[in-house]
Amino acid sequence: MLPFNASSFTSQKLPKILDRWKDFPPPFLLDQQHSFYLQQSDYHLMKTPRTMQQVHQSPNLSNPFENLTEEIIFNVLDFLDEDPQAKKSFSLVNKSFYSIESIHRRSLRPLRTNLIPSTLRRYPHLSHLDFTCCPRVEDDTLFAIADVYKTSLRAIDLSRSRFFSNVGLSSLAGKCTGLLEMDLSNATELTDLAAAAIAEAKNLEKLSLARCKLISDIGIGCIAVGCKKLKWVCLKWCLRVSDFGVGLIAMKCRDIRSLDLSYLPITEKCLPPILQLQQLKELILVGCSGVDDEGLVTLNQGYKPLEMLNMSIIQNVSHIGLYSLTNGMKHLSHLSLAYGFDVTVDLAKCLRNFPGLQCIKLDGCQVSCAGMKAIADCCVSLKEINLCKCIGVTDEGLSSIMEKHNGLKKLDITCCRKITHASLDIITSSCNSLISLKMESCSLIPEDAFELIGQRCSLLEELDITDNEVNDEGLKAISRCSKLLSLKMGICRKITDGGLSHVGIYCPKLTQLDLYRCTAVTDVGIMAVANGCLGLEMINMAYCEKVTDSSLRCLSKCLRLTALEIRGCTRLSSGGLSAIAEGCRKLTLLDIKKCCNIDDAGMLALAQCSQSLQQINISYCSVTDIGLMALASINHLHSMTILHVTGLTASGLGAALLACQGLRKVKLHSTFKASMPQALLNHVEARGCIFHWRNKAFQQVDIDPKGWQL
C-alpha cells in the first residue's frame, strides 16, 4: 500500500542509502532535539555516520528537509515501517513532518479506542486498522471508522477485541466498500446477525471467523451469498457450522484459495463443492472427525488444483480415504497427516499421486520401517519432513529417507527416542543443505554425535537440541554453523560457559537462544553471547541460577532484545533488570518469576524505560504496591501474572488494575477475588480484561520443585 513505489522515484540510489538505516537507525530522524541542528538539506550528506557527525558539529536552525519533496520523504517513511516507534519519533520532529507522516500513514494499531476520533482526524488515508491492542472496541468506534474511511479502508483486525456487535459490523461492512480483509477471530459472542452484517461487505476477500462459536450455518450462508469474492476463509472452531454452511460457501464463492475448516463438525458431504473450486490452493481439515473413509471413497475423481492439504487429527481416515480424496491433486506440495494416520506402505503409495510433494508432516503417527522406506521411494524430492513424536521411527527407516532425499531443508525428529548415532550420521552426511533441524529429546544419540552437525551442516539456521546429551565439544562444533539464527538447548546440563562462548563468538547472527535449565552456564557464557550476538532478540535463561546481574548488564547491549526469561534466577536483582530496561527499549516480554531479589526498583526502571513491555510475570517477586503501580503506567502492558507476590495488598492491586487500561489478561491468586471489591473487578472486566484465578499453593523458591536435581 505504498503511495509511490520505488520505480517512480528518480534517484535510484536513495533506497540503498535508506536501506543502511535499517541496521543503524539514524538518530537524527528519531530525536527531536538533534534535528534542529541539521544544517544541510542534501540527503547525500547522510550517507555515512561520519557526515552526520559533521552535521551535528555545525548548528543552524533552518529546516533541512524543506527542500525535499514530499515524494522523497514518503520514501524515507517507507523505510521506517519496521519500527513503529521510528515513525512516531519522525512525526514529532516538527509540524511539517507531523503532517507528512499523517498523510503517509496507511496502517495503524491503536492502543486505546477512546482516542479514536482524534486519531481518525489525524490520519485520513488509513487502509489497515489493527485493533489487537484494544480489548474493548465498541460499536461507536466502528461507526466512526466507517464514516471516515469509506473508501480507503482495506483491512481491519478485531481478532482480540470484544464488545462490538452486529450493528457496528453492519455499518463497517456497509459503508467501507473497499474492505478486503476482516479478522473477527475469537469473537465468541457474535451471532448469525453479525454474520449477516459481514455479508454486506461485498468485496471482502479475506475473512477469519476462528472461534466464532455462535455463528451457525445460517450466518455462513449469508456470508457465502453476500461476499462472493472471498479468497481466504478461516472457519476454525466455528462449531455450529456444518456441511450446509461449508457446502454453500464453496458453491457460492468460487474464488476461494484457502479454506480452513479445522474442528468443524463436517462430513464428506460438503467436500464435492470444495473440491470443485478451481482456485483452491490450501485446504485445512484438522480435527474434522466427521470425515471418514466411507464418505471419502464416494468422492468423484477429477483435477484438483490443491497445493496444501492438512488432514491432521482425523481419526477415521486411512490411506483408502486419503487416496480417494487426493486423487487428482497433481500439484500438492504440502501434506500434513499428523496424529491419525498409520504410516504404512499403503499410505506411502498414496504419495505417488503427488509428484511435486515437498513437505510432509507425519507428527505423532505410528510409523513402520517399511512405511518409511516406501515414502522414500514414492516421493520424488522432499524438502521438509516432520516426524515429531512419531512412534516407530528407527535408524533404518530414517536412513532410507535421508539417503534418497538429499535436498532436505527441514527435518523434525523431535522425541524420536529410538534413533541413535547412526541416524544423525546419515542425516548430516547426506543432507548437507539442512536449514532447520529439530531433535529435542533424542535421548539415545550420544554426546559425540553432535559434533557431526557442526561439521557437516554448515547452512543450519535453526537447531533445537533441547534435552539432549550434547556437551561443550558438540556445541563448539555446532558453533561452526555461522548462519545460526535460533539455537534451543534447554535442559542440556552438560553445556558450560566454554561451549556457549564459542556460540557467542562464531554465531553472530543468533537471534534466539534458549538456555532453559542449562544450570552450568554462568555469567561468562552469557556475556560471551551478549557481546557476540548483538542481534539477539530472545533469550531464555530460566533456572540458570548461577547467572548474576552482570549478565543482564551485558545483555542490555543487545538493543533488539524483545523477550527475556529469567525465571528462577535468584541471584538477579533490580540492578540488572534496570540495566536491561534502560538498554533494551524494545522489550515486550519479561518473565521474572521467582526472581525474589527483584523489587520495586526494577519495576520503576521498567516503567520508566520499557514502554513496549506487553507481558510480564512477576510471581514470587519482592514487588509491592508501589512497583505494581509503576508497572501499570506502561501503556502497552496487556498481560500480567501476579501470583504469590507477598508484598501486594488488595487495594494496591486494585489501583494498578484500574490504572493499567490496556490489560487483557491478568492471572491472580484466588484469595484476591474475595478481598477485592466486585464492582472493581466488574469494571476491569468490562474494559476487556479477563481474570484467571489460580489457587496453587506457595512454593519455596529455593527448593527445586520437580526434582530436576539441578
Partner 1 sequence: MMDPDERLRTNPWTKSSSSASDALRQLSPDNQSFTNFSSQQQKWEDSSSMDYRTRIEQQFSEFTSPSENLSSAACGANNQTKNHGHEDKRMRETSNSNNVQDWDPRGMLNNLSFLEQKIHQLQDLVHLIVGRRCQAVGQSNELLVQQQQLITADLTSIIVQLISTAGSLLPSVKHSLSSVNPPVTQLGQFGGSITPPVTSFDNSGRVVHCDVKKVEDQPNEVDLIGNAGIEQNYVVEEHESKDEEDADEGENLPPGSYEILQLEKEEILAPHTHFCTICGKGFKRDANLRMHMRGHGDEYKTPAALAKPNKESTSEPTLIKRYSCPFVGCKRNKDHKKFQPLKTILCVKNHYKRTHCDKSYTCSRCHTKKFSVIADLKTHEKHCGRDKWLCSCGTTFSRKDKLFGHIALFQGHTPAIPLDESKVSAGQSDAGQTNELINKVEQIDFSAQSNIPSGSGYQNVMDGKGSIDDPASYFSPLNFDPNNLSGLHEFPRPSFEDSESSFCFLLSGSSEYHQKTGRFSGSGNL
- Which amino acid, 93? V
Question: What type of residue is 211?
Answer: R
Give the C-alpha separation, 110 to 104, whole Å: 16
In this chain, which stretch among 185-193, 363-371, 433-441, 495-503 interacts with partner 1, using CB under 8 A? Answer: 185-193
* Residue with cell string 531479589: 597
Binding test (CB under 8 A) with partner 1, winner from 159, 191, 324, 573: 191
Integer angstrom CA distances of residue 544 from 122, 368, 493, 540: 48, 40, 10, 9
In three-state secondary structure terms, 469 is coil
With CB under 8 A as the contact rule, the residue among 103, 244, 290, 626 that binds partner 1 is 244
Answer yes or no whether residue 295 interacts with partner 1 by CB under 8 A. no
Stretch that binds partner 1, among 47-55, 192-200, 307-315, 560-568 (CB under 8 A): 192-200
**Binding positions for partner 1, 201-240, rule CB under 8 A:** 217-219, 221-222, 225-226
- Mapping DSSP to helix (H, G, I), strand (E, B) and coil, where does residue 91 land? helix
Tell whether residue 157 is a contact of partner 1 (CB under 8 A): no
3-class SS at 120?
Answer: helix
The distance of closest approach from Cβ of residue 281 to partner 1 in the complex, given in angstroms and rounded to an integer, is 23
Nearer to partner 1, 255 or 282 (CB): 255
Q: Scanning residues 418 to 437, which ones bind partner 1 (CB under 8 A)? A: none
The one among 38, 145, 190, 196 contacting partner 1 by CB under 8 A? 196
Residue recorded with cell 520505480: 7
Q: Could you tell me the smallest distance in angstroms from the CB atom of residue 293 to partner 1?
A: 23
Give me the least distance between CB of 223 and partner 1, in Å please.
9
Closest CA to 488 of 454, 439, 530, 555: 439
Q: DSSP letter at 416?
A: -
Interface residue with partner 1 among 34, 252, 673, 683 (CB under 8 A) is 252
Q: Does 170 bind partner 1 (CB under 8 A)?
A: no
Name which of 295 and 490 has its Cβ closer to partner 1.
295
In 3D space, the residue among 83, 90, 87 whose CA is nearest the CA of residue 585 turns out to be 83
What pairs with residue 436 in β-bridges? 410, 462
Nearer to partner 1, 146 or 199 (CB): 199
Backbone CA torsion sign across 363, 366, 370, 375: negative
Question: Nearest approach, Cβ of 256 to partner 1 (angstroms)?
Answer: 15
The angle formed by the CA atoms of residues 79, 84 and 87, to the nearest 5 degrees, is 60
Q: How far is the CB of 251 from partner 1 (least distance, A)?
A: 5
Three-class secondary structure of residue 610 per DSSP = coil
Q: CA nearest 85: which of 538, 586, 537, 557?
A: 586
Which C-beta is closer to partner 1: that of 222 or that of 379?
Answer: 222
User: Do residues 621 and 643 lie in contact, with contact meaning Cβ atoms separated by under 8 Å?
Assistant: no
Nine-digit cell at 112? 486505546
Rounded least distance, CB 252 to partner 1, Å: 8
- In the bound state with partner 1, the residue whose beta carbon lies nearer, of 14 and 218, is 218
534 near partner 1, rule: CB under 8 A: no
Residues touching partner 1: how many (CB under 8 A)?
A: 18
Segment contacting partner 1 (CB under 8 A): 36-44, 114-122, 241-249, 691-699? 241-249
At 658 the three-state DSSP class reads helix
Pick the closest to residue 363 from 290, 286, 300 (CA basis): 286
- Contact yes or no for 499/476 (Cβ under 8 A): yes
Q: Which of 116, 173, 234, 248 binds partner 1 (CB under 8 A)?
A: 248
Residues 592, 437: Cα–Cα separation, whole Å? 30
Residue 193 in the binding site for partner 1 (CB under 8 A): yes
Residues 6+ apart with CB under 8 A from 20: none
Q: Which residue lies nearer to partner 1 by CB, 240 or 319?
A: 240
Q: Is 709 left (phi over 0), alpha (psi -120 to 50) or beta?
A: left
The string over 305-341, giving b where at least 16 C-beta atoms fall within 10 Å of a residue's C-beta and e elsewhere, is bbbbbbbbbbeebbbebbbbbbbbbebbbbbbbbbbb
Per CB under 8 A, 168 contacts partner 1: no
Nearer to partner 1, 46 or 241 (CB): 241
Mark the segment that binds partner 1 (CB under 8 A) among 109-117, 186-194, 286-294, 400-408: 186-194
| The amino acid at 72 | I
Stretch that binds partner 1, among 188-196, 305-313, 419-427, 522-530 (CB under 8 A): 188-196
- Residue 410 C-beta: closest distance to partner 1, Å: 41
Per CB under 8 A, the segment of 111-119, 247-255, 568-576, 645-653 that binds partner 1 is 247-255
Q: Does residue number 349 form part of the binding site for partner 1 (CB under 8 A)?
A: no
CB under 8 A: which stretch of 65-73, 189-197, 613-621, 674-682 binds partner 1?
189-197
Least distance CB 237 / partner 1 (angstroms):
21
End-to-end CA distance of the chain: 53
Q: How far is the CB of 302 from partner 1 (least distance, A)?
A: 19
The answer to whether 200 contacts partner 1 (rule: CB under 8 A) is no
Name which of 270 and 332 has its Cβ closer to partner 1. Answer: 270
Q: Which is nearer to partner 1, 221 or 602 (CB)?
A: 221
Residue 146: CB minimum distance to partner 1, A: 20
Least Cβ distance, residue 299 to partner 1 (angstroms)? 18
Instruction: Please answer whether residues 131 and 638 qualify as being in contact, where contact means their C-beta atoms are separated by less than 8 angstroms.
Output: no
- How far from the centroid of its chain's Cα atoms is residue 91's Cα? 28
* Site for partner 1, rule CB under 8 A: 191-193, 196, 199, 217-219, 221-222, 225-226, 244-245, 247-248, 251-252
